Amino acid sequence: MTRTKRLALLLCIVMLTSIMSSLTVMAEEKPDTWIADRVVQIQAYVDDIGYALPEDQLNTPVMQELARRTGMKIEFLYTEGEKDRYVMATQLATGNLPDMIVSYLNNSTRPEFPILLKAARDGMFADLAPFIIESKVYSKYMDKEYLPADTYDNIVWRKDFDGQVHFLHMNIDAVDTSTIWNPAEEYIGGMYIQRAIAEDLGIDVKTINTSEQLFKLLQDIKAKEYKDVSGNPVTPLGPKFWGGSADALQYVINDLFWGVSGDYNITEDGKVLHEAETDWVYKKVDWLRKALAEGLMHKEFFTIDETRAGELYANKSIAIIADVHSYKEIIYGSDDWIPLGPIANYKGDTRKITSGKGGRGQWAIPASTENPEEVFKLMDYLSSEEGQLLCLYGVEGVSYDMVDGKPKLKPEVQEAMDRGDSKTLCDKYGASFDGSGVYGLEFILTDRQNEAYFGEARPGASSGSTFERSVKLAEEYTREYHLVPGLPAKAFLTDLEDVNNAMNLLNYNETLVQAAFAESDAKVKEIIESFREQLKHAGIEKFEKLVEEKYAENPNLINFY
Amino acid sequence: MSSIVKNQKRSTAALLGRRIWLHGALYIMFIPCVVYFILFNYIPMAGIVLAFKDFSFRKGIWGSPWVGFDYFKMFFNSYDAQRLIRNTLIIGFMKCVLEFPFAIILALMINELRNARFKKISQTVSYLPHFMSSVIIITMLQRMLAPNTGAINQLIGALGGDSSTFYLMEKKYFLPILFLLDLWKNMGWDSIIFLAAMSGVDPALYEASQIDGCGKLKRMWHITLPGIRSTIGVLFILGVGGLLSSGFDQIYLLRTPGNMEIADTLDVYVVRTGISGGQFGYATAIGLIQGVVGLILVMLSNKISKRITEVGIW
């Protein structure tokens, strides 16, 4: 062997050794959680996600840590529109979709669902069933007992999908605690009254349990001629805190809601009816017309925009907020407002009705996404204990420290949360912090069990002062839960496509408001009768028959009571 | 024979080439307009085919299966069809016919102004609302018309009247509000074309009429209006085409449960069914009905106008 050959051989050996050793180092550097070197773009049809994004999404401490563990990063995309579901319908129609989509989806009766279902039936989404079987967290979705009935039957494991899965419901609690009153987790929603007015009138707010009692209270408030901070008269009943909507009526005149299952209910002789087909609709309209005529209700109760509603409450121009909850600053920020009621249901029961576990959103992978299994693995990892800790608390040493095996937020993070500094939480730390920071990172989780994993209901709950009053209110105004299993009758509308399309164009709440503002009782009758006609024309009888059959087969399927 | 046709074609092409060469700058300026119309008006027209197809997200417009006239039958058999068409026609008539003379009147008034500075200011002030977004205008309007707290109601209250009227929730106020709002927004802008037409009227006619002792009103009636007759005719014919389209944004934003009985129009229905309900084919079919009816109305009014006034757009 010549000298040159020997030198070349030596060089080759050196090179081979260095390549092998660097490969070994690389292999060693990759943790078990490694998935792929990839940025996953998620199109969010959720306004709260779009409004809480870091300026540099890919370089927050959380994203850097996620990349170190899995090789992957997440980038949320958000397109503003009049309504998120309009944007979703448009983007699905154009086929312009990134690696994954997320949208609101509390249950299968939400307006997003028919659009998602059509897209799934058209083959727009990848089949996730094979990935579920192999996953760590999402494999729980194969257990019928784990998922809410609606999630299992109508969203994830739909019979018409022939064993395929096209979207996954998120934010499912690991353990069903829906009937347990836990002050640390409860949102006290519904009516709130100005404490000063309640005290002046000497009323016990918990004893106002019927719409009749409420009406009398509104009259008493009116008679006292209270003034707001600018010296203008106080209106007894104001709109929903987030702006005018008929939704708030469920708290105000709950005892006049007969259609408890998505506007439907069943009569004693087993006939399924829409509430508009019964006299209950007139009872509701009468109450509203009287309240409006006597000036007890704000005239823009159903239509006011959020900004102006906020002004009304900031000025104390309203005695009773029709709907707000204990985690809004106006409630937890001071002692000025206290819960009122609750108004009992039409059976006189004040217990809070629950159908058991629920969900909040859904995610799907477009069929055009390359290597969908990587995206799935990432979603599965994020919902593991390790992934949830990263998403909710951020990076250890940066935004929290481990104390006795549980995460404890750093004081500066807690302070940022207390002062509502979302920008700092997003840009500097990049985690969700119970929705105060990057909301998207909380929205995409499932198998939630904060108490079990982290020892507290939400990040900072055990040490922060921000929501102290929210928890106190939940301790003071406790309620009992009443479990009524089943889905709202409306969930079965998708079984009859033609009826569903026609019914989607009808709006019962709008009819109620129209009747409430009608110029005469004769006009009220005309409006209601016209709506009944429209229901018939849309094929309601066919639908009601279907629901009757389903209910007779299995009464636990539909939440009539 | 064919050689004559060929020669004619060649000379026409040569003439066109010469014209383009001579007026090159104008033709270059014309290119963006042509591109705009092709891209945004003609190519999207192909989407009309959706009115006859069961749209599938996956297969797209061309791959989706045909459904014939199903959507048209569905619409005309629907409970809402009659009410929607009636509401659309009322609002369309109001916008296209009732509002039409106001722009001419404004143009006549501005044309008679002698102070150039005041004339320019008046013109600018009158057409500025055209550029304001309907969302902003209607948000302002909602505040102004709010019961008890709105400026209008406060004024009424201060004068001893009932300040609790909720104008946007009462059906009877919907059309007047819409009329005034639309007039304020578009009158100034629409008057520009009439003003341009008026500047083309021969000044000698005005001088001669002055010598004959004509006053301002008579000059307007006998010289200005006949002078812009063809412009009025053409714009009216084009406007009639919009009878079955009421416009979307203003009505959508002004709609409340109280006025919905008369505020629900085809344009709003198209959005409700198409974008929010995902029934793209059905919504396209309704849009197509509006377009076809509009075209027929334009053709009819053009024919009538030509017969009566000899003014037509073709």
pLDDT tens-digit profile of B6-23?
Answer: 777 777 888 888 888 889
**Percentage of residues in chain B having pLDDT higher than 90:** 38
Confidence of residue A371 (pLDDT cuts 50, 70, 90): very high
A93 lies within 8 A of chain B by CB: yes
**3-class state of residue B23 by DSSP:** coil
B6 lies within 8 A of chain A by CB: no
**For residue A527, what is the nearest residue in chain B, using CA coordinates?**
B261
- Give me the pLDDT at residue B2, please: 60
Domain shared by B34 and B81, yes or no: no
CB contact under 8 A, A122 and B60: no
Domain shared by B97 and B41, yes or no: no
- Give me the pLDDT at residue B31, please: 93
- Give me the pLDDT at residue A27, please: 52
Over residues B181-189, mean pLDDT: 93
Domain shared by B124 and B167, yes or no: yes
Write the pLDDT tens digit of every residue in A450-477: 999 999 888 987 766 778 899 999 999 9
Q: Which range of residues forms the domain containing residue B139?
A: 69-309
Contact residues for B10 (Cβ-Cβ < 8 A; gap 6+): none
**Percentage of residues in chain B having pLDDT higher than 70:** 97
pLDDT at A1 over 70: no
CATH number for B295 = 1.10.3720.10
Q: What DSSP character marks residue B79?
A: T
Distance in angstroms (rounded) separating the CA atoms of residues A169 and A361: 6
Q: Is residue B187 part of a domain?
A: yes
CB contact under 8 A, A517 and B170: yes
Residues of B whose CB is below 8 A from A92: 57
Domain shared by B81 and B27, yes or no: no
Number of domains in chain B: 2
Terminal Cα-to-Cα distance of chain A (whole angstroms): 95
Answer yes or no: are the C-beta atoms of A372 and A176 closer than 8 Å.
no
Write the pLDDT tens digit of every residue in A395-437: 999 999 999 999 999 999 999 988 889 999 999 999 999 888 9
DSSP B229-250: HHHHHHHHHHHHTTTT---SHH
Greater confidence (A436 vs A9) lies with A436
Answer yes or no: are the C-beta atoms of A95 and B60 closer than 8 Å.
yes
Domain shared by B20 and B137, yes or no: no
Domain shared by B122 and B35, yes or no: no
Distance in angstroms (rounded) separating the CA atoms of residues B110 and B125: 12
Environment class of A194 (CB within 10 Å of its CB; exposed 0-12, middle 13-18, buried 19+): buried
Pairing of strands A272-274, A337-339: unpaired
Greater confidence (B237 vs A364) lies with A364
Confidence of residue A340 (pLDDT cuts 50, 70, 90): very high
Write the pLDDT tens digit of every residue in A25-60: 455 578 889 999 999 999 999 999 999 999 999 999
Confidence of residue A110 (pLDDT cuts 50, 70, 90): confident
**Residue A82: both structure tokens together:** 């009049």
Contact residues for A215 (Cβ-Cβ < 8 A; gap 6+): A287, A290, A291, A296
What φ, ψ does residue B243 adopt, rounded to 5°?
-55, -35
Answer yes or no: are the C-beta atoms of A474 and A468 closer than 8 Å.
no
Greater confidence (A457 vs B188) lies with B188
Instruction: Count other C-beta atoms under 10 Å from residue A370's C-beta.
Output: 8
Closest C-alpha to B221, from B206, B238, B236: B206
Virtual CA dihedral for A38, A43, A47, A48, nearest 10 degrees? -20
Domain shared by B33 and B88, yes or no: no
Over residues A482-495, mean pLDDT: 88
Domain shared by B114 and B174, yes or no: yes
- Give me the pLDDT at residue A487, please: 85
Using a cut of 0.80, tell me whether the model's pTM lies above it.
no
Greater confidence (A527 vs B258) lies with A527
- Give me the pLDDT at residue A140, please: 97
B82 lies within 8 A of chain A by CB: no
**Average pLDDT over all residues of chain B:** 88
Closest C-alpha to B78, from B295, B273, B278, B290: B273
**Average pLDDT over all residues of chain A:** 91
Q: Is residue B58 part of a domain?
A: no
CB contact under 8 A, A123 and B58: yes
Domain shared by B34 and B159, yes or no: no
Environment class of B54 (CB within 10 Å of its CB; exposed 0-12, middle 13-18, buried 19+): middle
Domain shared by B41 and B89, yes or no: no
Closest CA–CA distance from residue A510 to any residue of chain B (Å)? 5
Confidence of residue A15 (pLDDT cuts 50, 70, 90): low
- Give me the pLDDT at residue A150, please: 86
**Residue B310: both structure tokens together:** 């000899």
Q: Count how many pairs of residues, chain A against chain B, have C-beta atoms within 8 Å.
A: 82
Q: What DSSP character marks residue A174?
A: S
pLDDT at A3 over 70: no
**For residue B282, what is the nearest residue in chain A, using CA coordinates?**
A501
Environment class of A109 (CB within 10 Å of its CB; exposed 0-12, middle 13-18, buried 19+): buried
Residues of B whose CB is below 8 A from A501: 277, 279, 282
- Give me the pLDDT at residue B1, please: 52
Confidence of residue A86 (pLDDT cuts 50, 70, 90): confident
Please name every residue paired with A366 in a beta bridge, in sequence order, or none if there are none.
A125
Distance in angstroms (rounded) separating the CA atoms of residues B121 and B124: 5
A504 lies within 8 A of chain B by CB: yes
Q: Is residue B54 part of a domain?
A: no
pLDDT at A543 over 90: yes
Residues 42-61 of B with CB under 8 A from A: 55-60
Terminal Cα-to-Cα distance of chain B (whole angstroms): 31
A505 lies within 8 A of chain B by CB: yes
- Give me the pLDDT at residue B204, please: 92
Residues of A whose CB is below 8 A from B260: 510, 514
pLDDT at B76 over 70: yes
Domain shared by B32 and B140, yes or no: no
Confidence of residue A292 (pLDDT cuts 50, 70, 90): very high
Residues 203-242 of A with CB under 8 A from B: 232
Answer yes or no: are the C-beta atoms of A262 and A504 closer than 8 Å.
no
**3-class state of residue A264 by DSSP:** strand
Q: How many CA atoms lie within 13 A of A159 on its CB side?
A: 4
Strand segments (E) across A93-159: 100-104
Over residues A352-372, mean pLDDT: 93
Over residues B239-257, mean pLDDT: 84
**Residue A464: both structure tokens together:** 């922060």
Distance in angstroms (rounded) separating the CA atoms of residues A505 and A507: 7
pLDDT at A18 over 80: no
CATH fold of A38-177+358-448: D-Maltodextrin-Binding Protein; domain 2 (3.40.190)
Domain shared by B299 and B228, yes or no: yes
Write the pLDDT tens digit of every residue in B143-157: 899 888 889 999 998
Residue in the block written with tokens 């477009």: A366
CB contact under 8 A, B168 and A303: yes
Q: How far is CA B270 from the centre of its chain?
A: 18
- Give me the pLDDT at residue A25, please: 47
**H-only helix segments in A256-337:** 280-293, 306-314, 329-332
Q: Is the bond leading into A372 cis (omega within 30 degrees of zero)?
A: no
